[in-house]
Structure 1
Amino acid sequence: MTRLFLGASALALIATPALAHDPEFSEARLSTHVRTMSADWFEGRAPGTAGEDKTVAYLMGAFAAAGLQPGGDLRADGSREWTQDVVLARSTMVDTPLVEMNIGGEDVMLVQNEDVAVRAPINGEAQVELQDVELVFVGYGTHAPERGWSDYKDQDLSGKVLVMLVNDPDFEGGEGDFGGPEMTYYGRWTYKYEEAARRGAAGVLVIHETVPASYPWGVVANGNEQTFDIVREDPKAAHAGLEGWMHSDLAERIFAANGTSLEAVKAAARRKDFQPMPLGTTIDATLLARQEQIAAKNVVGVLPGSERADEYVVFTAHHDHLGMVEDPAEEGDAVYNGALDNATGTAALIEQARAFAEKGGAKRSLVFLAVGAEERGLLGSKYYAANPLYPLSRTVGVINTDSLGVFGPASDFSISGTARLGLLDLMIEEGEALGRTFAPDPRPEAGGFFRSDHFPFAQVGVPAVSYRSGQQLTEGGAERATELARDYVANHYHQASDEWSADWRFDGITSDMLFIHRVATTLANGEDWPNWAEGSEFKAIRDASAAERD
């Protein structure tokens, strides 16, 4: 098997003998970390809240107890803090948004989080006011000239509210100009918002459907009272005043008033000759929000390398979640606890740090980065990638852990999304030694590659993966794993019910951690530099910094 490395031969790496003493990871400690960080006392760990302050304090103590040194922002005396300030713009709704549409001549007052899920405006304005603004359907809202595709057809749609489908044009048919059902970045709602803003749209509403979105309506209807972004010089260039989702039932009503249907317009949107479609519907909206800047926190610990301290292997996991339920009287629970997502990955980060510290570190430096504001758009990792504490050109690779499996060991493993890079080749080889086979992401159409904290690192060229626990469970196999995953997504993902359970199996996570430990040990004690495969959109960025590693 060919590995994609720069520098010395990969064969030398393959010949590295098995570790004489693998660490023993504690199921009890992992369970305690998860149970603690997902307790109600931590208030859902939202950025810029008392819950985040408590989480950061817990992580600083846990990193210190594990044997790490502070690895965050530099102090005036040259020492480091435990944290990196992540400066964010925060928009907070001060009242329920008022949204009304005129559909087929009838005025219809819409219910927030039932008919639409409108975010607090993050375009820098404290008040967004739309009056009789026309809705235009723009297919998938994609402009991809390299694929000979544009849903906009160079029409001037500035000042309109654009309605669009989630995912890619290939999703329904399974093949086409976008490489089949695997989601590209064009399919992500973040891209759709960005492209609409670039075209001067007054607003954008993405039509929600559970299968192409990969999550139910309840997910997009949560957390809209606050919106976060990195601080931008011109936020209007990145965000329209009105951003959010439209329920498919409302979309059906609008299309029916135009003598068509959602299925019919989806079929039209899959063709290159699609033309933007005025919907004969107008929208009035009033959004009021408080605009401010806050500093969320990344928590950073480091084990300096014994021989090549200026080369870095980075472990990441996001410590934040969604905070408090907006109306606990209705929900029956006041806290989005975020136990699986992502107290599990953060617990693994802490205990991985302990294992390496007890071994005395490695030849290269090891950075343990608990990032914040992931649930707000990967903002902690985006901020680090734009403001690295350690040079990206000398970062060997990034291994992210997010929502690890709590239903026992598996005989396979995966990564989020689809990518070809030497880091994955190494993982496949190390997995074989442990009897773990690689299984491609079973749902590449969900866009997992773009939804975890490794992605901002990939965008700046650093080889990065987000590890996923396997699906071939030793007890129940893939069938049981699929059943459990569906139940979690449908009933617990981004819900107040994502809580620690005494029934969870942490032996699966310890198995995952041993696997990751072996991969990281090979990277941290080796001399090679993983790279992206030929044809990867990230390879040119990595290659451009090759001289800094020679």
Structure 2
Amino acid sequence: MTSDSAALEAALARIRPETIDAHLRFLAHPLLEGRAPGTRGGTLAMEYIRAQMQRMGLQPLGGSHLQPVALRGMIAAPTLRFAVADGEMAPAYPDEYVLEAGIPDAHVSVDAEIVFAGFGITAPEWEWDDFAGADVAGKVLLIRVNDPGTEETPGFFDGRALTYYGRWTYKFEEASRRGAAGALLIHTDASAGYGWNVVRSSNTGQQFDTAGEPEFPLPVHGWISESAARELVRRAGEDLDALMAASERRGFRPVPLRARMHAEVTSDLTEVHSANVVGLLPGSDPARAGEPVLLTSHYDHLGVRTGPDGETRVYPGAYDNASGVALLLAIAESVAESAVRAPRPLLFITTTAEESGLLGATWYARHPLFPLAATEGVLNVDGANLQGRTRDLAPLGIDRSPLGALVRAAADEEGMEIRPEAHPEQGMFFRQDHFPLARAGVDAVAMDHGLAYEGRPEGWGERWYEEFVSTHYHQPTDAYHEGWDYGGAVQQGRVMLRAALAAALLG
């Protein structure tokens, strides 16, 4: 580093609560209408972040702070009915199912046999194949969420911790690879970690995908509530509990149900223009100029949605993820205005369309501004700690790459303990914007905050988390509040900056 420890401490001291609050107050304001990609509010957020990066002196790339991301917007109007032995079953949209087209056609129609496909997983390394050679081309797959691993089987599918095989994205990808006509995932609150209200709010209204032909085309895909799935399976002559029990053992084979799915999805398709916002802090070594450390956070949220009561409401996304962007901007300003320079550059990226499946980050992974093979690592923040100082951090992916050791050392410098993530069964490592880069081979850690709050009773943080997920996650109530305690966010930011600079110093 071209500066001493005093310069580093001065930079760390610039990560201030009032700076985080100022950015968060604006980004979560109802006037930004939930920051959905391509909307007025999303564009306002994008331009605000660009202006802030320009003000700080972060450099553009290719003459711009914007990396355009070509998206396709889709507003789906689905109808769904099942033909069963005793007649028809028509679940209610969106209270019992959500459905959209997985191909860019304005009208998609599916009439196909339904097959229960267990977890929908093919994993040779675990000697697991839910398809067992069965031909499911042209069928609709009814699939369980998560994977077969449990706390009692720690050496199998990573035990309680969710693997990528358990993510909905994998299941739709595998259904596409198998030539299926569609896939329905059975939602349960316990397996997902959140209620049907989140499924409904996240998968209705305008949805997004990257423009062009999809990598994994699937005519239709969606979720069905547990109660509706039970009724469907019962009326198809099977018992869902028995099917699930069978699917938890090796040797399971897909079970054709005596039912067909008739689905129509009419979609209003639009071309959507959005962008990742990028700002570069050059390093001190010209020979390392092409080896950046990335610091990322997504700025989009759900926008404006119609609730189950028919009322239109703004989903402000204050914690998720105006708070992460506010913290990232505070970190960027603290180091940009300091004398600290490491050999490698720091590239700050705020991504678009994370809520639609990590699309902005995926776009960057496919169209990197620096070669991914030369990228030193990525640190992501999705949710800054707004409840006060903690004794701990719970970063995701800390044992997956050498970058984790730098995060551990940075936390130690701040007097903080590294603890395992509280809910590994929710697969959070696969649900944040570092993951597309990790999947492409970049060392990656997500800077999730801890839950052991100073001055709070034992278990308070866990109760706060459970209340947020059950009540506020992807809901209009995730809104800005006066009086948040940013001490924990400052801790988070200090550890993130220390780790980024350590990575920029390596080798």
- How far did residue 478 of structure 1 move? 5.0
Answer yes or no: is the 8 Å Cα contact 2:397–2:445 preserved in 1.
no
Partner of 1:296: 274
- Cα distance per residue 1:145-204 (max 9 Å; x no partner): 232111111111111111010000124864563131111111000010111111111110
Report the equivalent of 2:189. 210
Please report how far the alpha carbon of residue 393 of structure 1 lies from its aligned counterpart in structure 2 after TM superposition: 2.3
- Structure 2 length-normalised TM: 0.94
Q: Does 1:142 align with 2:125?
A: no
AA at the equivalent of 1:152:
F
Distance 1:466 1:42, change over 3 A: same
Alignment of 1:195-344 (within 5 A): 195-222=174-201, 223-233=203-213, 235=214, 238-307=216-285, 308-327=288-307, 330=309, 332=311, 334-344=313-323
Q: Which amino acid aligns with 1:206?
A: L
Give per-residue Cα distances to partners, 1:36-83, cap 9 Å, x unaligned.
Answer: 111111111111211211111111111122232223xx2xxxxx1110
CA distance in 1, matches of 2:189, 2:399: 25
Q: 1:260-295: per-residue Cα shift (whole Å, max 9, x none)?
A: 433222111111111111121222111101334333
Check 1:194–1:46 CA distance in 2 against 1; reply closer, same or farther (3 A cut).
same
1:51 equivalent in structure 2: 41
Structure 2 counterpart of 1:113: 94
Seen in structure 2, the aligned counterparts of structure 1 residues 238 and 361 have a Cα distance that, compared at 3 Å, is same
Identity %: 36
Distance 2:21 2:272 in 1: 31
Equivalents in 2 of 1:172, 1:136: separation in Å? 28
Check conservation: 1:183, 1:444, Cα contact below 8 A. yes
Residues 107, 266 of structure 2: 8 Å contact kept: yes
Aligned partner (choices 455, 458, 472) of residue 475 of structure 1? 455
Change (3 A) 1:112 1:418: farther
- Code of the residue aligned with 2:166 in structure 1: it is G
Aligned to 1:34, which of 2, 24, 27?
24
Matching residue of 1:358 = 337
Contact in 2 for aligned 1:194/1:238 (Cα 8 Å): yes
1:522: how far off?
2.2
Any idea what SS the aligned residue of 1:113 has? coil
Quick one: structure 1 residues 353 and 176, their matched pair in 2 at CA, closer, same or farther if it must change by over 3 Å?
Answer: closer
Relative to structure 2, which stretch is displaced further, 162-171 or 216-225?
216-225
Write the deviation string for residues 288-321 of structure 1: whole angstroms up to 9, x where unpaired.
0133433321001111112243331111000000
| In structure 2, distance between residues paired with 1:59 and 1:17 | 29
- Partner in structure 2 of residue 382 of structure 1: 362
In the TM superposition, 1:77-156 aligns within 5 A as: 80-93=63-76, 96-119=77-100, 121-131=101-111, 133-156=112-135
Contact in 2 for aligned 1:44/1:337 (Cα 8 Å): yes
User: What SS does structure 2 have at the residue aligned with 1:343?
Assistant: helix
Secondary structure in 1 matching 2:501 = helix
- Cα deviation, 1:192-217, whole Å, max 9, x if unaligned, reads 01111111111100000112112211
C-alpha distance in 2 between matches for 1:271 and 1:287? 35
Q: Please tell me whether residue 168 in structure 1 is matched to residue 162 in structure 2.
A: no
More divergent stretch after superposition (190-199 vs 415-424)? 415-424
Q: Which amino acid in 2 is paired with 1:69?
A: Q
Cα drift, residue 353 of structure 1: 0.7
Could you tell me which runs of 5 or more consecutive residues in structure 2 were left unpaired when the two chains were aligned: none
Amino acid corresponding to residue 86 of structure 1 in structure 2? V
SS at match of 2:102: coil
RMSD: 2.1
The equivalent residue for 2:57 is 67
- Alpha-carbon distance in structure 2 between the residues aligned to 1:254 and 1:294: 37
Q: Is the 8 A contact 1:44 1:51 kept in 2?
A: yes
Question: How big is the shift at 1:130?
Answer: 2.2
Q: How does 1:428-467 map to 2 (within 5 A)?
A: 428-467=408-447
Maintained 8 Å contact 1:66/1:351: no
Structure-2 separation of matches of 1:478 and 1:162:
44
State the number of aligned residues: 500
TM-score by length of 1: 0.87
Q: How far off is 1:134 after superposition?
A: 1.4
User: What stretches of structure 1 of length at least 5 have no aligned partner?
Assistant: 1-11, 75-79, 529-550
CA deviation after TM superposition for structure 1 residue 517, in Å? 1.8
Distance 1:321 1:337 in 2: 7
Could you say which residue in structure 2 is the equivalent of 1:24?
Answer: 14
Query: Which moves more between the two structures, 371-380 or 97-106?
Result: 97-106
Instruction: Using the TM superposition, name which of 273-282 and 355-364 deviates more.
Output: 355-364
Does structure 1 retain, via aligned residues, the 8 Å contact 2:172–2:218? yes
Question: Does structure 2 conserve the Cα–Cα contact (< 8 Å) formed by 1:304 and 1:361?
Answer: no
Trace 1:522-533 onto structure 2 (pairs within 5 A). 522-524=502-504, 526-528=505-507
Q: Which moved more, 1:185-194 or 1:105-114?
A: 105-114
Q: Distance in 1 between matches of 2:125 and 2:444?
A: 25
CA distance in 1, matches of 2:73, 2:475: 22
Q: 1:478 to 1:395 in 2, by over 3 A?
A: farther
> For 1:93-150, what per-residue CA distance to the aligned partner results, in whole angstroms no more than 9, with x for missing partners?
2xx311111234131222111111112x13122111123x211100000011232111
Q: What is the CA–CA distance in structure 1 between the aligned matches of 2:82 and 2:392, rounded to whole Å?
A: 50
Q: Do the aligned partners of 2:8 and 2:340 also contact (CA within 8 Å) in 1?
A: no
Change (3 A) 1:505 1:512: same
Against the structure 1 CA distance between its residues 379 and 243, is the aligned structure 2 distance closer, same or farther, given a 3 Å change threshold? same
- 1:88 maps to a residue whose letter is L
Residues 317, 191 of structure 1: alpha-carbon distance in 2 compared, 3 angstrom cutoff: same
Secondary structure at 1:367 match in 2: strand
Indicate whether 1:186 and 2:165 are aligned.
Answer: yes
Supply the AA of the counterpart residue of 1:300: V
Confirm or deny: 8 A CA contact 1:122 1:229 kept in the other structure. no
Q: Per-residue CA shift, 1:317-342, capped at 9, x if unaligned? A: 000001111358x2655111000000
Residues 134 and 253 of structure 2 are in contact (CA less than 8 Å); yes or no, is this contact kept in structure 1? no
